[in-house]
């Protein structure tokens, strides 16, 4: 496409300027993106935003020194000044032997498969089509069971598309184009005591055709909000915790964050020294799937140009890998693997959420996490929860103002069942998860 060629040419030109002004090595990336958001609230258009950005970023290696800079002024004369000034600034920085471009061998084996992460229909969406979808979500919400309790309905349609081109002086060139579109309905209801519980339903995909039906999104948002009427604290104790698929990604974000090389090198990760150790139940297999078709995080190469391949991070409870970019891999004396996750996939089981619910004699079903904290160094966490009390395998009254707590390296070993229902509308694809013997605090 013409814009891909244009951005690739801009990145090449920026890299050539860096070399001309004295950089021993350099990489440059040029990107362009557009993001649109339409919000419809209670029968009225509340907000429309449409933002387009373009930038060029440089990684400069000058006499053993390193610096990274970016600019949004891509006019030729301005770019010339930017690069010249950037090289001059890097010359006064301290030397760092760990800063370097990836070895060219890490560029090899890059997938040329069509990952289907770009849909031209996203960029072609009209203002009317976005508004029609938002209105349909509100109509679905206001026609659902329990609609008489509704106080407010907010429907949001967001979409974006981006193109990213990167080149490096040791031979790398690559272009990545992607799109995403999302729909969200948030419903607030009112109970007899004047309290206003709320809930939401959200879906994000690369392709317009893969989005959930907007009327269904609205209806489900109302049903979930109405189900929260009368929510209260339940009793504290050690009990079973069943985490709904869409909520599980919050747990996984806290669990996988400390895998990053920077945290390991700075001794701020509870995974330090745990390669090959048991960090979870044998039911936990977690992989990074960069080549997943239509995956929201899919891409053939990472931000440094390293060719990405599927890899298992946790295999049946055993830690198999860290997230290491070139810099932190060098500092740790390890091989780089990429410092970021793309699509986090938890291997699903064979049981439905309702089947797992029947196994819970005393516990809670978590539908959302609200606030809390997780310490990356110690692994200690405490997270607020919303959901339902479960007794005798049946869902009971709604709960709120409660939390679960523990240490990640203990908590994930308490995983006793994995569902067959991975949440597909996010880059973290986890099914529902059942844990036993979890500390739950309420009244």
Distances (CA, A) of 413 to 207, 257, 406, 420: 37, 18, 11, 19
Q: Domains in the chain, ordered, with CATH?
A: 2-35+51-102 (3.30.2290.10), 120-227 (3.30.2290.10), 237-441 (no CATH)
Residues in Cβ contact with 83 at an 8 Å cutoff, skipping those fewer than 6 apart: 14, 17, 18, 21, 58
Query: For the chain, how far is it from start to end, CA to CA, in angstroms?
Result: 60
In this structure, the strands spanning 344-346 and 428-429 are parallel
pTM for this structure?
Answer: 0.95
Two structure tokens written together for 152: 């407010």
Report how far residue 205's alpha carbon sits from residue 210's, in angstroms, rounded to the nearest whole number.
Answer: 6
Q: How many CA atoms lie within 13 A of 205 on its CB side?
A: 17
Q: What are phi and psi of 4, to 5 degrees?
A: -65, -45
Q: Are 389 and 397 in contact (CB under 8 A)?
A: yes
Percent of residues, the chain, with pLDDT higher than 70: 100
In this structure, the strands spanning 150-168 and 394-407 are unpaired
Measured on CA atoms in the order 386, 391, 394, 396, is the torsion positive or negative?
A: negative
Two structure tokens written together for 178: 């992607």
pLDDT band at residue 443 under the 50/70/90 scheme: confident
Tens-digit pLDDT profile for residues 181-191: 999 999 999 98
pLDDT band at residue 300 under the 50/70/90 scheme: very high
Per-residue pLDDT, 268:
98
Q: How many CA atoms lie within 13 A of 131 on its CB side?
A: 10
Per-residue pLDDT, 193:
82
pLDDT band at residue 1 under the 50/70/90 scheme: low
Write down the mean pLDDT value for the chain: 97
Two structure tokens written together for 389: 């009390």
> DSSP code of 227?
H
Residues in Cβ contact with 198 at an 8 Å cutoff, skipping those fewer than 6 apart: 186, 187, 188, 189, 225, 228
Computed on alpha carbons and rounded to an integer, the radius of gyration of the chain in Å comes to 24
Residue 51 has pLDDT above 70, yes or no: yes
Closest alpha carbon to 227 in 342, 322, 149: 149
Query: Strands, DSSP E only, in 132-231?
Result: 150-168, 173-189, 198-205
Tens-digit pLDDT profile for residues 87-97: 999 999 999 99
Residues in Cβ contact with 435 at an 8 Å cutoff, skipping those fewer than 6 apart: 240, 241, 242, 243, 411, 414, 415, 416
Residue 106 has pLDDT above 70, yes or no: yes
Q: Are 258 and 328 in contact (CB under 8 A)?
A: no
């Amino acid at each position: 496409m013409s814009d891909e060629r244009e951005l690739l040419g801009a990145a090449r030109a920026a890299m050539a300027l860096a070399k001309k002004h004295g950089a021993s090595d350099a990489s440059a990336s040029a990107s362009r993106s557009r993001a649109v958001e339409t919000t419809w609230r209670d029968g009225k258009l509340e907000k429309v935003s449409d933002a387009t950005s373009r930038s060029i970023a440089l990684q400069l290696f000058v006499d053993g020194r390193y610096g990274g800079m970016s600019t949004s002024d891509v006019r030729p004369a301005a770019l010339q000044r930017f690069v010249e000034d950037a090289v001059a600034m890097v010359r006064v920085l301290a030397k760092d032997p760990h800063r370097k471009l990836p070895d060219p061998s890490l560029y090899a084996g890059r997938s040329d498969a069509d990952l289907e992460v770009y849909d031209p229909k996203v960029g072609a969406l009209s203002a009317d089509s976005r508004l029609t979808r938002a209105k349909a979500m509100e109509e679905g919400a206001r026609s659902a069971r329990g609609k008489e309790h509704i106080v407010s309905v907010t429907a949001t349609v967001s979409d974006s598309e981006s193109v990213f081109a990167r080149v490096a002086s040791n031979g790398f060139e690559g272009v990545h184009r992607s799109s995403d579109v999302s729909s969200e309905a948030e419903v607030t209801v009112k109970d007899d005591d004047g309290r206003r519980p709320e809930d939401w339903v959200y879906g994000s995909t690369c392709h317009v055709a893969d989005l959930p039906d907007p009327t269904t999104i609205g209806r489900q948002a109302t049903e979930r909000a109405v189900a929260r009427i009368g929510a209260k604290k339940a009793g504290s104790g050690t009990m079973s915790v069943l985490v709904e698929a869409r909520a599980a990604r919050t747990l996984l974000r806290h669990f996988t964050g400390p895998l990053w090389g920077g945290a390991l090198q700075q001794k701020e990760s509870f995974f330090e020294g745990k390669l090959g150790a048991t960090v979870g139940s044998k039911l936990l297999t977690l992989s990074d799937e960069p080549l997943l078709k239509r995956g929201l995080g899919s891409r053939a190469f990472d931000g440094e140009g390293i060719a990405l391949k599927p890899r298992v991070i946790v295999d049946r409870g055993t830690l198999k890998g860290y997230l290491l970019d070139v810099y932190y891999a060098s500092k740790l004396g390890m091989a780089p693997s990429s410092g970021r996750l793309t699509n986090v996939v938890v291997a699903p089981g064979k049981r439905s959420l309702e089947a797992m619910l029947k196994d819970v004699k005393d516990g809670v079903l978590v539908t959302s996490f609200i606030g809390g904290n997780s310490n990356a160094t110690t692994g200690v966490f405490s997270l607020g929860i919303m959901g339902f009390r479960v007794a005798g395998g049946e869902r009971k009254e709604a709960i709120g103002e409660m939390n679960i707590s523990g240490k990640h390296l203990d908590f994930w070993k308490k995983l006793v069942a994995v569902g067959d229902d991975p949440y597909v509308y996010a880059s973290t694809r986890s099914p529902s998860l059942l844990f036993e013997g979890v500390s739950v605090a309420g009244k």
